[in-house]
């Protein structure tokens, strides 16, 4: 599901809520490339499917651009097509070529978080009570259904089904969208979200593997501080986890991204192409470089001037480029 500090968080979030719309040129390009007239956001790298990640990112970017018409279109399609009747979560995937496009009823927690984050920000920007109420319901369902204890910590499951096996939780570090969680704590209180944030911080500290001390896309936890690369999945610092340093930067938590930024900097300082993935166990790197979106993240985290934006043809690469504009 998905692609497979002490810093004044509250002050930063307060400044971002209701901030003046940023220049819309790149958003207009993104919208033209990936957002249908009915509000479906298309993942061009995954055979034209849509999912709560794409819908959530679309809503986040539309709100940031001050584009309420597109925000409402994306939100309406998401509610109409992916909302689950039994709770305030969403079915994670829409496959337009299937007889039943929403056959998999499982959720994806990152998509749910993105949607709730976008709605919470939109409620503050546009003063809409319906946004506020729906955002609160989604946050409540996430907290009630996706939080699992493990010893002294609690962690966010990536989805309702498939991530709890024989006392082992399988987690995805990139599903901890740090600026969203900080905003959730601001509006709902530390009693509700403080333990979730603390569990995510424990995951950040513990999921450091191999000589490079890098996290993997998927991580197993079998005890409060016993983290390993996920069983049955490649132990890659890869396409999912690349978002983690950017989310940390958005939330003023750059100290937690030191190992990841250091890996990228080791290539940047010698003028070498940064590989798209690295196996944290063997050290083997992909024979191809980061995508344009991945390079946008690396450059933003390293403080390197951004390259001109590449043509927006690949959904995920374009999302990463657009997210960098929000920092």
Cβ atoms of residues 288 and 238 within 8 Å? no
- Hey, how many other C-beta atoms are within 10 angstroms of the C-beta on 203? 22
The residue ranges of DSSP E strands in the chain, in sequence order, are 50-51, 93-94, 147-150, 153-156, 164-165, 168-171, 219-223, 226-229, 236-237, 278-279
The three-point CA angle 154-159-160 to 5° equals 90
Please give the C-alpha separations between residue 234 and each of 59, 149, 215, 229, in angstroms, as whole numbers: 31, 25, 12, 8
Active site annotation includes 53:
yes
**Which among 53, 63, 217, 220 is annotated as catalytic?**
53
Task: Choose, from 110, 217, 220, 251, the residue flagged as catalytic.
Answer: 110
Q: Which residues lie closer than 8 Å to 94 by C-beta, 6 or more apart?
A: 40, 49, 50, 51, 81, 82, 101, 102
CA angle 159, 61, 184 (to 5 degrees): 50
| The token pair that represents 63 in the structure block | 């709100």
Active site residue 112: no
By DSSP bridging, strand 164-165 and strand 168-171 are antiparallel
| Residue (of 226, 203, 225) closest to 216 by Cα position | 203
Q: Which residues are catalytic?
A: 53, 110
């Amino acid at each position: 599901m998905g692609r497979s500090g002490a810093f004044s968080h509250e002050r930063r979030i307060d400044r971002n809520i209701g901030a003046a719309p940023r220049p819309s040129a790149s958003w207009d390009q993104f919208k033209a490339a990936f957002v249908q007239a009915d509000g479906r956001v298309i993942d061009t790298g995954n055979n034209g499917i849509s999912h709560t990640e794409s819908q959530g990112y679309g809503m986040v970017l539309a709100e940031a651009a001050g584009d309420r018409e597109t925000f409402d279109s994306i939100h309406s399609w998401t509610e109409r097509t992916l909302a689950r009747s039994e709770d305030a979560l969403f079915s994670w995937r829409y496959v337009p070529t299937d007889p039943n496009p929403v056959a998999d009823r499982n959720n994806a927690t990152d998509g749910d978080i993105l949607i709730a984050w976008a709605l919470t920000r939109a409620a503050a920007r546009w003063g809409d009570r319906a946004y506020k109420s729906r955002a609160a319901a989604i946050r409540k369902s996430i907290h009630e259904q996706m939080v699992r204890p493990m010893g002294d910590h609690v962690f966010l499951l990536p989805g309702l089904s498939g991530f709890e096996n024989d006392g082992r939780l399988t987690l995805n570090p990139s599903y901890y969208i740090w600026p969203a969680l900080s905003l959730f704590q601001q509006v709902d209180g530390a009693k509700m979200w403080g333990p979730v944030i603390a569990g995510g911080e424990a995951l950040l500290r513990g999921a450091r593997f191999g000589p490079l001390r890098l996290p993997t896309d998927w991580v197993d936890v079998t005890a409060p501080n016993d983290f390993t690369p996920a069983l049955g999945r490649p132990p890659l610092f890869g396409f999912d986890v690349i978002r983690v340093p950017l989310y940390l930067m958005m939330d003023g938590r750059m100290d937690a991204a030191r190992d990841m930024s250091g890996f990228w900097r080791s290539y940047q300082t010698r003028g070498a192409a940064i590989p798209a993935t690295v196996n944290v166990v063997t050290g083997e790197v992909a024979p191809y470089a980061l995508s344009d979106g991945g390079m946008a993240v690396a450059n933003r985290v390293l403080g390197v001037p951004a390259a001109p934006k590449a043509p927006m043809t690949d959904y995920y690469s374009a999302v990463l480029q657009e997210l960098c504009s929000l920092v």
